[in-house]
Amino acid sequence: MSLTEGDEAASNAAMPIHRSPSRPQLDLSGAAIHGSTDDKSPAIVLPNQSDELSHFAIDIGGSLVKLVYFSRQTESSLVCGSPPHKVPGGEDRQKEAYYDGWRKHPIMGGRLHFVKFETSKLNECLDFIQQKKLHCSNPEDIGGLESPAAANGTRQGATIKATGGGAFMFAEVFKERLGATLDKEDEMDCLVAGANFLLRAIRYEAFTHLKGQKQFVQIDRNKLYPYLLVNIGSGVSMIKVDGDGVFQRVSGTNVGGGTFWGLGRLLMKCKTFDEILELSRGGDNSNIDMLVGDIYGGLDYSKIGLSSTTIASSFGKVISGDKDLSEYRREDLALSLLRMISYNIGQIAYLTALRFGLKRIFFGGFFIRGHAYTMDTISVAINYWSKGEAQAMFLRHEGYLGALGAFLSYDKHGLTTLTSHQCVERFPMGAPYAGGEIHGPPILDLNEKITWMDKFIKKGIEITAPTPTAVPTTTGLGGYGRPLSRALSLRSDSSAALNVGVLHFVPSLEVFPLLADPDKYEPNTVDLSDSVEREYWFNILANHLPDLVEKAVASEGATSDAKRRGDAFAQAFRAHLARLSEEPAAYGKLGLANIFEMREECLREFHFTDAYRAIKERENEAALAVLPDLLSELDSKTPNDRILALIEGILAANIFDWGSKACLELYREGTIIEIYKMSRDKMQRPWRVDDFDLFKKRWIGEEGAITPKPHKRALLFVDNSGADIMLGMLPFARELLRRGTEVVLVANSLPAINDLVAAELPAIIAAAAKHCDILRKAAEAGGLLFGLPSTSDNDSQECQNGSVPPLFVVANGSGSPCIDFRQISSEVADLAKSADLVVLEGMGRALHTNYNAKFKCDVLKLAMIKNQRLAEQLVGGKIYDCVCRYDPGQEL
Ligand SMILES: Nc1ncnc2c1ncn2[C@@H]1O[C@H](COP(=O)(O)OP(=O)(O)O)[C@@H](O)[C@H]1O
Ligand SMILES: CC(C)(COP(=O)(O)O)[C@@H](O)C(=O)NCCC(=O)O
Ligand SMILES: [Mn+2]
């Protein structure tokens, strides 16, 4: 970004802005960009924002304290929401649209974190709040920009939204320890607000659980009500929910999570809740419970539909055993207790649902604990009694409903209006270890992260809330020795508990307007719920790690610090893979694209900002040297032959993929140019998927028929640096421009393997434009270039009408090798509105994701398949086969 543009952006942000009431009421006057204006994602300082913007809410229950806190977006992770490096569009209107998007959401982007503590250890919670300075409710105090008042601890008088009985009981403690006042919110209001928010805003928040199988469900937000919310905390509340804030507590039971935990301590002398769950795994409840068969001499009571194994009376067998407590197996006791409580709650829930004619029952509260047996027991009860009519569903954020609801009651955040496409859930490095445990916040300091990684490895099972540590003295974590095996128990409870990640709010993300049916859209082609697929792809990723670490370490100067970070990154990513192979649903619904993205996020966590930087630069240079000859060769062809050569060129150049194992081996055998030439020479039609003729018909028309009109605007979702862009996509873009089609090059906001980043494109285009007048003029028209001299060969004369349409560059809002069209930048969404051609290039964007996606406009999917198994499974082909799939727009 140039200085003048930066200034303009800053002054734009400071202008009085119309805000709808649903947006956060922030005082933007005097807003300025903090730091260098050359930063891609500069921080914005709001000097006049009042101190009241609170950042956490608390639910103090009978058993657990739940904390939900908000942190502002940090610079390194900001994927969009800042103005583009260049304003793509010379016209003021276009420019306006850009800054508009940015102005709409200048600060609201941020992260929501979830933490819990035992109520009996409230002090731990207070320490945590103090350490994180959460009660110093100034937005500048979070994320490193600490105000002087907060630094010396003098700020007083924060008001914190609080719910749960403890909000009354512990109000004084908060006043004394933190000088904070608890602003009490009604518990039921909060539970309902939390559940409604989660079900509307978080994709696949709910899931069913039957016979050990989790199935994530997407609830249609327009058909959400009515439902029964059953919150199983210490006690149980059953609430009929009819709308936002419209509900009635219709039932409840005093036999709940507290009962389970209390009896567990008494009977089995368990110290922790998880210990009871763990014990129950090895239990046989028939030693404790009186079964129907015990009463009916081993027979079923078939007349009324009871099998001999049905529990007739929980703990009933004890009456005839004449045994002491110590003579019973603790495991058996634990299981009987779990079944008794779960079944009873399931039954009451069913009766309550029946009474009000409700078909859907959502269960929340920490009693569930993501525990398979608990959920199965409840589901079986509901299913059995309702004869399959009613459905039990569970929520991933089970115990956080109340805290979340309290947080949402600060209407300033405007979060209630967020929808699922604006939420991205991420799992920081500690997640595989600390998962559903009582755990601490994401650790921001890099050294601290590495130290923690080390601790996780050494004593992964003893993790509690992390406290800031001194600079580490370790020399590294050493190698990649961690096996990817089930035997590796990462967590203190080996139960299949679910993880809750950090929710990132990115208000500038939007659903791609050209998706044919956004509700039916599923980005992933490969479904990782299939264990064979999962194992295959996890192995691919694990095997690629040494090479990736080598590149990443080299990209940071191969210093000893870089090596330490590289090792820690590898450990962290392997831990995620291990956790997910142990429990595939731990992080919610899982597709291959999520894992590729997680790998990039993991690199960023350890401050590897662009691992393939040097490779990309080298490849760009090598490809640029070939470009002039390629352009002349293309220009010497007839338009008919040229389009084939252009598509061939894209497919051939897509061979440069540093994320593919096979390609890595290939690159050892020749120079970039040799490989490119070899790849081109091998381009023989028909390709494995070959819709070229259909595309050509749209492009040129049929002989004798009227020539079709060129497309108005094409969005080109570009893939890799080097030959891929320079010799593949740019020549194709040039041809589109020559025909009079506006071109938008859509590239990543953040790096992913050797993929292009939008910020890199202006320089690449400038270099190419030195050899091509069409690109030069188009880039000028698009505001990307200024004052470059014209080339000797005046090829733009061939342009229709002699004028050249603009070429734009825009960032897609993502840092992944794949693309999820439910979450793209608002800039792409704006430019898509008048586009009539979408081109998806590369394996990540056109095959791993979106291969089956339907669009409203014409779409061309182009990729070389650089993986044998994917080639076999997707198209019945072999490695290096090509896909040219063309689907004309769906008439809606
Ligand atoms: N780590 C844990 N420590 C204590 N209780 C837990 C834990 N995990 C799950 N539980 C269960 O969750 C219950 C508390 O659920 P929660 O929704 O937090 O309710 P409350 O608001 O009443 O504390 C406990 O009574 C216990 O059954
Ligand atoms: C990450 C990728 C999707 C990137 O491919 P691209 O989009 O650049 O064509 C690809 O490198 C990939 O699927 N790699 C793993 C497959 C393998 O190593 O065989
Ligand atoms: Mn790529």
Q: What residue segments make up the domains of the chain, in order of their start?
A: 1-50+74-108, 209-288+328-395, 419-611, 613-887
The CA 750 to ligand 3 mean position distance, Å, reads 12
Rounded CA-CA distance 206/199 in Å is 7
Predicted confidence (pLDDT) at residue 438 exceeds the cutoff of 80: no
Q: Which helix (H) or strand (E) is 401 found in, with range?
A: helix 401-408
CB of 867 closer than 6 angstroms to any ligand 2 atom: yes
Atom of ligand 1 nearest to the CA of 438: 1
Confidence at residue 704, expressed as pLDDT on a 0 to 100 scale: 83
**Residue with CA nearest ligand 1 atom 20:** 61
Rounded CA-CA distance 326/287 in Å is 14
Rounded CA-CA distance 549/545 in Å is 6
pLDDT class of 73 with cuts at 50, 70, 90: low
CA dihedral 504, 509, 513, 515 (to 10 degrees): -30
Determine phi and psi for 112, rounding to 5 degrees.
-110, 125
**819 alpha carbon, closest ligand:** 2
Predicted confidence (pLDDT) at residue 266 exceeds the cutoff of 80: yes
Nearest to 311 by CA among 327, 332, 281, 330: 332
Nearest to 307 by CA among 384, 195, 219, 213: 384
Confidence at residue 488, expressed as pLDDT on a 0 to 100 scale: 33
CB of 753 closer than 6 angstroms to any ligand 2 atom: yes
Mean per-residue pLDDT for 785-796?
Answer: 65
Atom of ligand 2 nearest to the CA of 867: 19
Beta strands in 701-757 (DSSP E): 713-717, 742-747
Question: Token pair of 249, please?
Answer: 């507590």
What residue ranges line ligand 1, CB within 6 angstroms?
61-64, 118, 164, 233-234, 257-258, 260-261, 273, 365-367, 369, 399, 438
Confidence at residue 414, expressed as pLDDT on a 0 to 100 scale: 63
Confidence at residue 521, expressed as pLDDT on a 0 to 100 scale: 95
**721 alpha carbon, closest ligand:** 3
Higher-pLDDT residue of 247 and 38 is 247
Per-residue pLDDT tens digits for 144-165: 333 434 444 444 568 899 999 9
Per-residue pLDDT tens digits for 749-761: 999 999 999 999 9
Whether 530 contacts 544, CB under 8 Å? no
- pTM, rounded to two decimals: 0.82
Q: How many CB atoms lie within 10 A of CB 286?
A: 16
CB of 719 closer than 6 angstroms to any ligand 2 atom: yes
| Region of poorest pLDDT, from 113-117, 289-293, 457-461, 529-533 | 457-461
Q: Ligand 1 test: best mutation among 367, 439, 500, most atoms within 8 Å of CB?
A: 367
Confidence at residue 702, expressed as pLDDT on a 0 to 100 scale: 86
Mean per-residue pLDDT for 811-835?
Answer: 95
Confidence at residue 198, expressed as pLDDT on a 0 to 100 scale: 92
Higher-pLDDT residue of 585 and 800 is 585
Rounded CA-CA distance 410/413 in Å is 6
Beginning with the edge strand found earlier in the chain, give each strand of the sheet holding 713-717 in spatial order.
689-690, 882-887, 858-864, 837-841, 713-717, 742-747, 807-811
Rounded CA-CA distance 786/766 in Å is 9
CB of 657 closer than 6 angstroms to any ligand 2 atom: yes
Confidence at residue 706, expressed as pLDDT on a 0 to 100 scale: 87
Position 365, amino acid: G
CB of 728 closer than 6 angstroms to any ligand 2 atom: no
| Region of poorest pLDDT, from 1-5, 109-113, 418-422, 594-598 | 1-5
Atom of ligand 2 nearest to the CA of 848: 3
Confidence at residue 212, expressed as pLDDT on a 0 to 100 scale: 85
**867 alpha carbon, closest ligand:** 2
Q: Which CATH architecture has domain 209-288+328-395?
A: 2-Layer Sandwich (3.30)
Position 602, amino acid: C
Question: Token pair of 386, please?
Answer: 């309702």
Whether 729 contacts 650, CB under 8 Å? yes
Predicted confidence (pLDDT) at residue 287 exceeds the cutoff of 80: yes
CB of 849 closer than 6 angstroms to any ligand 2 atom: no
**Residue with CA nearest ligand 2 atom 13:** 660
Q: Are strands 509-510 and 824-825 parallel, antiparallel or unpaired?
A: antiparallel
Contacts with 270 (C-beta within 8 Å, 6 or more apart), sequence order? 264, 276, 279, 334
**Residue with CA nearest ligand 1 atom 21:** 61
**658 alpha carbon, closest ligand:** 2
Find out whether the peptide bond into 226 is cis, omega within 30 degrees of 0: yes
Rounded CA-CA distance 227/357 in Å is 9
- Rg over alpha carbons for the chain, rounded to the nearest Å, is 30
| Region of poorest pLDDT, from 317-321, 775-779, 823-827 | 317-321
The CA 528 to ligand 3 mean position distance, Å, reads 21
**Residue with CA nearest ligand 2 atom 15:** 660
Predicted confidence (pLDDT) at residue 531 exceeds the cutoff of 60: yes
Predicted confidence (pLDDT) at residue 744 exceeds the cutoff of 80: yes
CB of 791 closer than 6 angstroms to any ligand 2 atom: no
Nearest to 855 by CA among 819, 808, 821: 821
pLDDT class of 482 with cuts at 50, 70, 90: very low
Question: Token pair of 127, please?
Answer: 């320490």
Predicted confidence (pLDDT) at residue 254 exceeds the cutoff of 70: yes
Whether 348 contacts 231, CB under 8 Å? no
Per-residue pLDDT tens digits for 193-210: 999 999 998 889 999 999
Position 574, amino acid: R
CB of 65 closer than 6 angstroms to any ligand 2 atom: no
**Residue with CA nearest ligand 1 atom 2:** 273
The CA 749 to ligand 2 mean position distance, Å, reads 18
- The topology under which CATH files domain 613-887 is Rossmann fold (3.40.50)
Rounded CA-CA distance 105/85 in Å is 18
Question: Token pair of 870, please?
Answer: 């994917």
State the chain's mean pLDDT as an integer: 81
Predicted confidence (pLDDT) at residue 461 exceeds the cutoff of 50: no
Kindly report the three-state secondary structure assignment for every residue of 124-192. HHHHHHHHCCCCCCCHHHCCCCCCHHHHCCCCCCCEEEEECCHHHHCHHHHHHHHCCEEEECCHHHHHH
The CA 655 to ligand 3 mean position distance, Å, reads 10
Whether 405 contacts 244, CB under 8 Å? no
**Residue with CA nearest ligand 2 atom 18:** 660
The CA 734 to ligand 3 mean position distance, Å, reads 21
The CA 225 to ligand 2 mean position distance, Å, reads 42
CB of 816 closer than 6 angstroms to any ligand 2 atom: no
Atom of ligand 2 nearest to the CA of 544: 18
Residue holding tokens 């600390």? Answer: 434
Contacts with 638 (C-beta within 8 Å, 6 or more apart), sequence order? none
Predicted confidence (pLDDT) at residue 115 exceeds the cutoff of 90: no
The CA 713 to ligand 1 mean position distance, Å, reads 55
**Residue with CA nearest ligand 1 atom 16:** 233
Confidence at residue 435, expressed as pLDDT on a 0 to 100 scale: 53
Rounded CA-CA distance 817/672 in Å is 21
- Cross-strand bridge partners of residue 58: 67, 162
Contacts with 38 (C-beta within 8 Å, 6 or more apart), sequence order? 1, 6
- C-alpha distances (whole Å) from 706 to each of 500, 575, 612, 800 are 58, 60, 47, 17
The angle that helices 560-582 and 592-605 make with each other, rounded to 10 degrees, is 150
- Cross-strand bridge partners of residue 230: 238, 363
Predicted confidence (pLDDT) at residue 817 exceeds the cutoff of 80: yes
Rounded CA-CA distance 615/380 in Å is 56
Residue holding tokens 């959460």? Answer: 134
Rounded CA-CA distance 862/683 in Å is 13
Confidence at residue 44, expressed as pLDDT on a 0 to 100 scale: 34
**Residue with CA nearest ligand 1 atom 24:** 257
Predicted confidence (pLDDT) at residue 693 exceeds the cutoff of 90: yes
- Cross-strand bridge partners of residue 883: 689, 863
Contacts with 686 (C-beta within 8 Å, 6 or more apart), sequence order? none
Whether 775 contacts 724, CB under 8 Å? no
The CA 191 to ligand 1 mean position distance, Å, reads 15
CB of 540 closer than 6 angstroms to any ligand 2 atom: yes
Q: Are strands 807-811 and 742-747 parallel, antiparallel or unpaired?
A: parallel
The CA 708 to ligand 3 mean position distance, Å, reads 32
Mean per-residue pLDDT for 818-837?
Answer: 96
The CA 721 to ligand 3 mean position distance, Å, reads 8
Predicted confidence (pLDDT) at residue 601 exceeds the cutoff of 90: yes
pLDDT class of 483 with cuts at 50, 70, 90: very low
Q: Ligand 1 test: best mutation among 64, 236, 398, most atoms within 8 Å of CB?
A: 64
Per-residue pLDDT tens digits for 607-662: 999 999 999 999 999 999 999 999 999 999 999 999 999 999 999 999 999 999 88
Determine phi and psi for 247, rounding to 5 degrees.
-160, 170
The CA 10 to ligand 3 mean position distance, Å, reads 34
The CA 257 to ligand 1 mean position distance, Å, reads 6
Mean per-residue pLDDT for 215-235?
Answer: 94
Instruction: Decide: helix, strand or coil at residue 871.
Output: helix
Could you report how far apart the first and last alpha carbons of the chain are, in Å?
40
Residue 121, Cβ density class (10 Å: 0-12 exposed, 13-18 middle, ≥19 buried): middle
Atom of ligand 1 nearest to the CA of 257: 27
Whether 854 contacts 835, CB under 8 Å? no
Nearest to 807 by CA among 840, 844, 772: 772
Decide if 209-288+328-395 and 613-887 have a common fold.
no
